[in-house]
Amino acid sequence: MDYRQSGVDIEAGDAAVERIKKIARATFTPGVLSEIGAFGGMFRFPAKQFSDPILISSADGVGTKLKVAFMSGIHDTVGSDLVNHCVNDILVHGAEPLFFLDYLATGRLDPEVAALIVTGMGRACEANGCALIGGETAEMPGFYQDGEYDLAGFIVGAVDKPNLIDGRDIAPGDRLIGLPSTGLHTNGYSLARRIVFDVLGLEVDSFIPEVGDTVAGVLLRTHRSYLACMRPLLERRLVKGMAHITGGGIPGNLSRILPGATDARVHRGTWTIPPLFSFLQKSGQVSDDEMFRAFNMGIGMIVVAGSAHMDVALGMLRDAGEEPKVIGEIVAGEKRVLL
Topology annotation, domain 175-338: Phosphoribosyl-aminoimidazole Synthetase; Chain A, domain 2 (3.90.650)
Query: What number of CA atoms fall less than 13 Å from residue 313's CA on the CB side?
Result: 25
Q: Please tell me the pTM assigned to this model.
A: 0.95
Q: In sequence order, which residues have a C-beta less than 8 Å from that of residue 75 and are 6 or more positions away?
A: 69, 113, 116, 117, 120
Backbone φ and ψ of 62, nearest 5°: -105, -15
| Alpha carbon 39 to chain centroid, angstroms | 27
C-alpha to C-alpha distance for 21 and 322, rounded to whole angstroms: 34
Q: What is the pLDDT of residue 339?
A: 95
- The CATH code that applies to domain 10-163 is 3.30.1330.10
* Res. 1: pLDDT tops 80: no
Task: Compute the average pLDDT of residues 229-241.
Answer: 97
Task: Compute the average pLDDT of residues 238-262.
Answer: 97
Longest dimension (CA), the chain: 72
Q: How many CB atoms sit inside 10 A of residue 237's CB?
A: 12
| Alpha carbon 286 to chain centroid, angstroms | 24
Per-residue confidence band for 175, with pLDDT thresholds at 50, 70 and 90: very high
Per-domain boundaries in the chain: 10-163, 175-338
pLDDT tens digits for 7-25? 677 777 778 888 889 999 9
Q: What is the pLDDT of residue 2?
A: 66
Q: What is the pLDDT of residue 3?
A: 65
